[in-house]
C-alpha cells in the first residue's frame, strides 16, 4: 500500500516525502510490531491472573507441600530483579527444551552437552530448527517471553490475590457460614466477590508494571517496537531510498507517547473497574477521584 | 422447606447440656445448661467477658464446645474428630441447624458487596434453594415489615446502623428459622436507633418467635424475655422469670451486676 507519487522518492519534498517515508514496508513492519506488544499483553494478562489464583490457592492450601510450593514460588520471584529473571528464564527454558530434544533425537551422541562453558546440542535438537523461517524464530522468542512474563508476574499476582483473600473481613465469611453456606458457597458467594475490592489496586498496579515491562521483549531478541524504533530511527546515508540523520529521538518520543497513552487509558479503565467492585458504594461514588478501598465493609 | 413446624410443644427447639468451652487454658464456659422451648424468649445477661457470646456461638456451632451436648429439635449433634478436635460429623445436620438458628450480630455483618435485598435473599436462594422470584417477593415483604422497604436496592454502607441492623433481622427472618439468636443487637447503636431495633424485636416476641438474646439492655431483657439467665465467669449464677431475676434478686453477684448497670428493679 504505497501512494502513487512515491515511485521516485528522490524527487519528493515536504509532507509528500514524509508520507511516503512513513509508508515504507519497514515502517509497516514497525506498525505491526505494536500488535506484538498487544499480543503479549493479551496473552500474558489472563495467564498471570490464572497463575496468580493458583499460587494464592496453593499458599492457602491445607496440604503442606502445596503451601510450601506456593510460598517458595512467590518469595523466590520477589527476591530477584525482574530483568535478571527475564534474561534467565528464556535461556534456561531454551536450553532445557534443546537438551530434551537432544536426548530424544540424537541418542547416539555421547559427547556431553556442556563442554566447558559451551552448551552444544546436535543440529536436529536446535530450537527452532535451523531451516525454520524467520517468523518461527520470532514466534519462539515471543513464546519464551510470554512464559517468562507469566512466571514473574504470576508470582506478584499470587501475592496480591493471597493478600486480598486474607483482607476480606473474617466476620463476612463467618456470617455466611452461620447462615448454612458450605465452604465452597462461602468462597464463591462472599469471599471471592469481596476479594476483588482488595486485589484491584494491586492488580492495576501490576498491569501498569506489565505494560511498562513490555520493551523487555527487545532484550529477548523479539522484533518489537523498540527494535524497529532503533532500526528506523538510526541515521540513513544517501545509499538509502529515504536518507535522513539520526532520528531515534523522535522515534523513542513516539514510543513514549504510546506508553503514556496506554497507561493513561489503563488507569481510566481500572478506576471504573475499582468503582464497580468497590464494596463501599457510598464512598466510591462520592469520591470519584480515588475510591478508598481499605478499611471498609465491616 | 425449613422444618420449623416439626417441634411440637414438648420438644425444645434447642437444648444445651453441660457445655464446656476452653480457649487454650482459658475455660470460658464451665458447664452450661439451657433449654429454649418453642415461643421462649431467653435473655442472656452478664458482665463483659462472662461468656455470653461464646455460649450463643456454641448454639449454632460457630464455636465447638469441647464437652457437652447440643440437641436441636430432639436430635443431638453427632460428633466426630478432626485433628484431635471435636467437630460435628454430619454436614447435613449442621446445615439444618444453622439454617434454623438465624444469627443477628452486634456489628450487623451484612454482606458488604450485596444490596440489602440481596443480603436478605442470599441464603434462602443458595442454601434453602428457594425460587429466586418468590424469595425476592418475600424479602421485600420482610424489609417492609422491619420498616426499610424503601432501602431494598441500597448497599449496607449507605444505611444507618439502625437500618442495617433491621436489614440483618430481615435477613434472619427470611430463613424462616426455628429460633433466632441475637448477640447484643443494639449495642453498636445510638439510643435513638436502638429504639427502632428494640421495637422490631418486641414485635417478634409478640408473634411468638423463639429467641435467645444476649443483651446489655436490662430494660429490653425485662420487657421481652420470659426467661432471664445471668452468666458470670462461665457459669449460670441465677436464672428465672424477669420478675424473679430483676425484682427478687437472690445472688450477691447479680445484685452487684445490676447495681453497676444502674438498672436495678
Ligand atoms: N476466639 C477466642 N480466642 C480466645 N479467647 C476468646 C475467644 N473468644 C472469646 N474469648 C474469651 O472468652 C471470654 C468470653 O468471651 P465472650 O465474647 O463470650 O464474652 P461476652 O460475655 O460476650 O462479653 P461481651 O459482653 O464483652 O461481649 C473472654 O475472656 C474472651 O477474651
Ligand atoms: Mg459478646
Percent of chain A predicted with pLDDT > 90 = 40
Work out the pLDDT band at A286, boundaries 50, 70, 90: very low
Please give the pLDDT value at position A281: 59
Using an 8 Å CB-CB cutoff, list residues of chain B that contact chain A.
Answer: 60, 62, 91, 95, 98-99, 102-103, 105, 107, 109, 111-113, 122-123, 126-128, 155, 157-158, 171, 175
Q: How far is the CA of A282 from the centre of ligand 2 (A)?
A: 29
Q: What is the 3-state secondary structure (H, E, C) of A87-109?
A: HHHHHHHHHHHHHHHHHHHCCCC
Topology at the third CATH level for domain A24-79+153-297:
MetI-like fold (1.10.3720)
Higher pLDDT, B75 or A115: B75
* C-alpha cell of residue A3: 501512494
Is residue B7 scored above 70 in pLDDT?
Answer: no
Pick the ligand that lies closest to the CA of residue B45.
1
* C-alpha cell of residue B19: 457445655
Angle in degrees, CA B109, B115, B120, rounded to 5:
65
Would you call A72 helix, strand, or coil by DSSP? helix
Q: How far is the CA of A108 from the centre of ligand 1 (A)?
A: 73
Residue closest to A123 by CA, chosen among A133, A109, A110: A109
Percent of chain B predicted with pLDDT > 90 = 88
Q: Are strands B75-76 and B67-72 parallel, antiparallel or unpaired?
A: antiparallel
- Whether residues B103 and A197 touch (CB distance < 8 A) is answered with no
- Region B120-126: mean pLDDT is 97
Sign of CA dihedral B111, B113, B117, B123: negative
Give the span between the Cα atoms of A222 and B248, in whole angstroms.
88
For residue B169, which residues of chain A lie inside 8 Å, CB to CB?
none
- Region B203-231: mean pLDDT is 94
Give the span between the Cα atoms of B258 and B218, in whole angstroms.
8
Q: What is the pLDDT of residues A34-61, one digit of tens each?
A: 998 999 999 999 999 999 999 999 999 9
- Whether residues A279 and B91 touch (CB distance < 8 A) is answered with no
Q: What is the pLDDT of residues A176-216, one digit of tens each?
A: 999 999 999 999 999 999 999 999 999 999 999 999 988 88
Work out the pLDDT band at B152, boundaries 50, 70, 90: very high
Work out the pLDDT band at A106, boundaries 50, 70, 90: confident
CB B76, CB B234: distance < 8 Å? no
Count of helix runs (H) and strand runs (E) in chain A: 12, 2
**ipTM for this model:** 0.91
- DSSP secondary structure, B217-253, as one string: -HHHHHHH-SEEEEEETTEEEEEE-HIIIIIS--SHH
Bond before A128 cis per omega within 30 degrees:
yes
For residue B107, which residues of chain A lie inside 8 Å, CB to CB?
171, 298
Please name each of the domains of chain B with its CATH number.
14-260 (3.40.50.300)
> Which residue from B minimizes the CA distance to A280?
B157
- Region B94-122: mean pLDDT is 95
Would you call B102 helix, strand, or coil by DSSP? strand
Please give the pLDDT value at position A1: 52
Pick the ligand that lies closest to the CA of residue B231.
1
Q: What is the pLDDT of residues A47-100, one digit of tens each?
A: 999 999 999 999 999 899 999 999 998 888 878 887 888 888 888 888 888 888
Tell me which of A214-223, A267-276, B44-53 is least confident. Answer: A214-223
Amino acid at each position: 500500500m504505497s501512494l502513487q507519487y512515491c515511485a521516485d522518492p528522490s524527487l519528493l519534498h515536504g509532507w509528500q516525502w514524509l508520507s511516503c517515508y512513513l509508508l515504507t514496508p519497514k515502517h509497516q513492519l514497525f506498525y505491526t510490531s505494536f500488535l506484538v506488544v498487544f499480543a503479549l499483553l493479551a496473552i500474558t494478562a489472563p495467564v498471570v491472573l490464572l497463575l496468580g489464583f493458583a499460587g494464592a490457592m496453593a499458599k492457602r492450601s491445607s496440604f503442606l507441600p502445596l503451601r510450601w510450593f506456593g510460598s517458595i514460588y512467590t518469595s523466590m520471584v520477589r527476591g530477584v530483579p525482574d530483568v535478571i529473571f527475564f534474561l534467565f528464564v528464556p535461556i534456561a527454558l531454551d536450553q532445557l527444551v534443546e537438551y530434551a530434544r537432544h536426548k530424544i533425537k540424537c541418542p547416539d551422541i555421547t559427547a556431553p552437552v556442556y563442554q566447558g562453558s559451551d552448551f552444544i546440542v546436535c543440529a536436529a535438537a536446535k530450537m527452532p530448527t535451523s531451516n525454520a523461517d524467520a517468523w518461527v524464530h520470532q514466534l519462539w522468542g515471543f513464546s519464551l517471553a510470554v512464559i517468562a512474563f507469566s512466571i514473574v508476574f504470576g508470582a506478584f499476582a499470587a501475592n496480591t490475590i493471597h493478600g486480598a483473600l486474607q483482607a476480606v473481613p473474617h466476620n463476612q465469611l463467618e456470617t455466611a457460614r452461620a447462615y448454612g453456606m458450605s465452604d465452597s458457597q462461602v468462597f464463591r458467594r462472599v469471599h471471592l466477590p469481596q476479594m476483588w475490592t482488595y486485589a484491584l489496586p494491586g492488580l492495576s498496579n501490576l498491569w501498569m508494571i506489565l505494560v511498562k515491562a513490555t520493551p523487555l521483549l527487545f532484550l529477548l531478541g523479539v522484533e518489537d517496537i523498540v527494535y524497529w524504533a532503533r532500526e528506523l530511527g538510526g541515521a540513513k546515508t544517501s545509499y538509502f531510498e529515504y536518507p535522513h540523520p539520526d532520528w531515534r529521538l523522535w522515534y523513542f518520543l513516539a514510543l513514549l507517547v504510546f506508553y503514556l497513552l496506554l497507561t493513561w487509558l489503563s488507569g481510566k479503565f481500572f478506576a471504573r473497574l475499582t468503582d464497580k467492585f468497590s464494596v463501599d458504594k457510598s464512598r466510591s461514588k462520592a469520591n470519584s477521584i480515588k475510591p478508598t478501598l481499605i478499611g471498609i465493609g465491616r | 422447606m425449613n422444618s420449623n413446624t416439626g417441634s411440637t410443644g414438648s420438644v425444645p427447639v434447642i437444648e444445651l447440656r453441660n457445655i464446656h468451652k476452653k480457649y487454650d487454658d482459658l475455660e470460658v464456659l464451665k458447664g452450661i445448661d439451657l433449654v429454649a422451648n418453642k415461643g421462649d424468649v431467653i435473655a442472656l445477661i452478664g458482665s463483659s467477658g462472662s461468656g455470653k457470646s461464646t455460649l450463643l456461638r456454641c448454639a449454632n456451632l460457630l464455636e465447638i464446645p469441647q464437652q457437652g451436648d447440643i440437641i436441636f429439635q430432639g436430635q443431638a449433634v453427632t460428633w466426630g474428630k478432626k485433628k484431635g478436635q471435636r467437630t460435628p460429623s454430619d454436614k447435613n445436620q449442621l446445615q439444618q441447624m444453622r439454617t434454623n438458628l438465624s444469627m443477628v450480630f452486634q456489628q450487623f455483618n451484612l454482606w458488604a458487596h450485596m444490596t440489602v435485598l440481596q443480603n436478605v435473599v442470599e441464603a434462602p436462594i443458595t442454601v434453602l434453594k428457594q425460587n429466586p422470584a418468590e424469595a425476592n417477593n418475600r424479602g421485600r415483604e420482610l424489609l417492609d415489615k422491619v420498616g426499610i422497604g424503601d432501602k431494598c436496592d441500597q448497599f449496607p454502607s449507605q444505611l444507618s446502623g439502625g437500618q442495617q441492623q433491621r436489614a440483618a433481622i430481615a435477613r434472619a427472618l427470611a430463613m424462616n428459622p426455628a429460633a433466632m439468636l441475637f448477640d447484643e443487637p443494639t449495642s453498636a447503636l445510638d439510643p435513638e436507633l436502638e429504639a427502632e431495633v428494640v421495637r422490631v424485636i418486641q414485635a417478634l416476641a409478640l408473634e411468638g418467635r423463639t429467641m435467645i438474646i444476649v443483651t446489655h439492655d436490662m430494660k429490653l431483657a425485662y420487657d421481652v424475655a420470659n426467661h432471664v439467665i445471668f452468666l458470670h465467669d462461665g457459669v449460670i449464677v441465677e436464672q428465672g422469670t424477669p420478675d424473679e431475676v430483676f425484682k427478687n434478686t437472690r445472688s450477691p453477684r447479680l445484685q452487684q451486676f445490676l447495681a453497676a448497670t444502674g438498672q436495678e428493679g
